[in-house]
């Protein structure tokens, strides 16, 4: 039996090291989780290849790969930031993991920042994999626009992570699981992320959805090489609303 002889000498590691450590821990957990990888990478890749070959099953005009690739990137960002983080955080809350980690030197703020690092790391992998697949299929983005695309991806990831955490902190884990999946499918199919919306009539109203703002913003950046100001403002607005709501209603246990 090992005796614990060390004297009591408790001290936290520096904040940056703690947050980085938690970000790496969370990223590993996501990348090792088969279900999360399926939703974050495999399904978006299937959508990319499927939409690219849509003309095989329909005679209607199909969008070009230059339109589809940014849309699938939007779908992937929603999958990891909203669905993936929402479900993971919902179950962590149910099992008391959030409450436990909040009592460690990491604290609530470190926990959220660590999660943000994990989301950004996973999103970086998604951009790399889906972007490469798009390039192989003939995607030809504007080089300057890629910089703006990166900015919009970060804004979108922030807004959808905040929305996912809001859901995870306010309803039961099982409900979070069902809701995030259903909302992801609905926003992916008809929310203006993968396929562009009509900018007239009802379609114009749907542009206020975060999914449409993300999809339209990524398409504007990649196709036109310009910064999508309106879409960025809409995403920032959703992020601010979700953060404020989470501060008010998020329940750690």
Partner 1 sequence: MPQHPPCLTLRHVRYAVGSARSPQGLKEILRGVDLTARSGEVTVLLGPNGAGKTTTLSCAQGLLHPSQGSVALLGQDPFRAGAELRARVGVMLQDGGMPQSVQPRALLKHVASLHQDPWPVDDLVSRLDMGDFMRTSIRRLSGGQKQRVALAASLLGRPEVVFLDEPTAGLDPQSRQTVFGLIDELREMGMGIILTTHLLEEAQKLADSVFILKDGEVVRHGSVAELTGAAAAGAASADGAARRMVFTASRTLTRAEIGSAPVSIELDGGADNAPGATWMTPRLSGPGQLRELAAWWELIDMMPVEVRMEARTLEDVFWEVSVS
Q: CA–CA separation, 202 vs 193, rounded Å? A: 16
Q: CA–CA separation, 173 vs 147, rounded Å? A: 36
- For tokens 């999946």, the residue is 181
- Cβ contact 231:152 at 8 Å: yes
- Cα within 13 Å of Cα(11), Cβ side: 4
Cα–Cα distances in angstroms (integers) from residue 46 to residues 70, 85, 106, 215, in the given order: 14, 21, 38, 18
| Piece of 2-10, 162-170, 213-221, 238-246 that binds partner 1 (CB under 8 A) | 2-10
Tell me, residue by residue from 40 to 79, as one string, x for binding to partner 1 by CB under 8 A and - for no binding.
----------------------------------------
Binding flag, residue 252, partner 1 (CB under 8 A): yes
Binding flag, residue 4, partner 1 (CB under 8 A): yes
Binding flag, residue 164, partner 1 (CB under 8 A): no
CB of 16: closest distance to partner 1 in angstroms?
12
Q: By C-beta, is 1 or 61 nearer to partner 1? A: 1
CB of 99: closest distance to partner 1 in angstroms?
6
- Cβ contact 66:140 at 8 Å: yes
Cα–Cα distances in angstroms (integers) from residue 100 to residues 83, 103, 176, in the given order: 23, 5, 21
Which one of 50, 96, 138, 203 is in contact with partner 1 (CB under 8 A)?
96
Q: By C-beta, is 12 or 203 nearer to partner 1? A: 12
Q: By C-beta, is 37 or 185 nearer to partner 1? A: 37
CB of 94: closest distance to partner 1 in angstroms?
9
Token readout for 173 is: 């884990």
Binding flag, residue 201, partner 1 (CB under 8 A): no
Of 119, 126, 156, 153, nearest to 30 by C-alpha is: 119
Binding flag, residue 103, partner 1 (CB under 8 A): yes
Binding flag, residue 106, partner 1 (CB under 8 A): yes
Binding flag, residue 10, partner 1 (CB under 8 A): yes
CB of 47: closest distance to partner 1 in angstroms?
26
Which one of 172, 199, 247, 253 is in contact with partner 1 (CB under 8 A)?
253
Q: Give the distance from CA 110 to its chain's centroid.
A: 19
- Cβ contact 215:234 at 8 Å: no
Q: CA–CA separation, 117 vs 25, rounded Å? A: 10
CB of 154: closest distance to partner 1 in angstroms?
26
Q: Give the distance from CA 193 to its chain's centroid.
A: 13
Q: Which residues contact partner 1 (rule: CB under 8 A)? A: 1-4, 6-13, 15, 17-18, 21-22, 25, 28-29, 32-33, 91-92, 95-97, 99-107, 110, 252-253
């Amino acid at each position: 039996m090992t005796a614990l002889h060390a004297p009591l000498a408790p001290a936290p590691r520096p904040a940056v090291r703690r947050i980085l450590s938690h970000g790496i821990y969370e990223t590993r957990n996501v990348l090792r989780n088969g279900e999360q990888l399926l939703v974050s990478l495999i399904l978006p890749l299937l959508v990319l290849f499927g939409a690219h070959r849509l003309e095989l099953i329909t005679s209607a005009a199909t969008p070009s790969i230059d339109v589809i690739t940014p849309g699938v990137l939007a779908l992937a960002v929603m999958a990891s930031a909203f669905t993936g983080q929402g479900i993971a955080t919902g179950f962590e809350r149910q099992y008391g993991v959030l409450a436990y980690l909040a009592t460690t030197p990491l604290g609530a703020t470190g926990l959220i920042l660590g999660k943000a690092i994990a989301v950004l790391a996973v999103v970086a992998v998604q951009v790399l994999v889906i972007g490469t697949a798009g390039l192989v299929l003939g995607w030809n983005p504007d080089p300057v626009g890629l910089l703006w695309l990166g900015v919009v991806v970060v804004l979108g990831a922030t807004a959808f992570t905040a929305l996912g955490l809001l859901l995870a902190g306010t309803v039961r884990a099982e409900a979070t699981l069902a809701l995030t999946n259903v909302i992801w499918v609905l926003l992916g199919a008809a929310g203006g992320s993968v396929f562009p919306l009509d900018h007239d009539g009802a379609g114009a109203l749907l542009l206020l959805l975060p999914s449409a703002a993300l999809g339209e913003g990524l398409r504007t950046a990649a196709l036109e090489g310009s910064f999508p100001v309106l879409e960025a403002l809409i995403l920032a607005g959703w992020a601010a609303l979700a953060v404020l709501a989470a501060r008010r209603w998020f329940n750690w246990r």
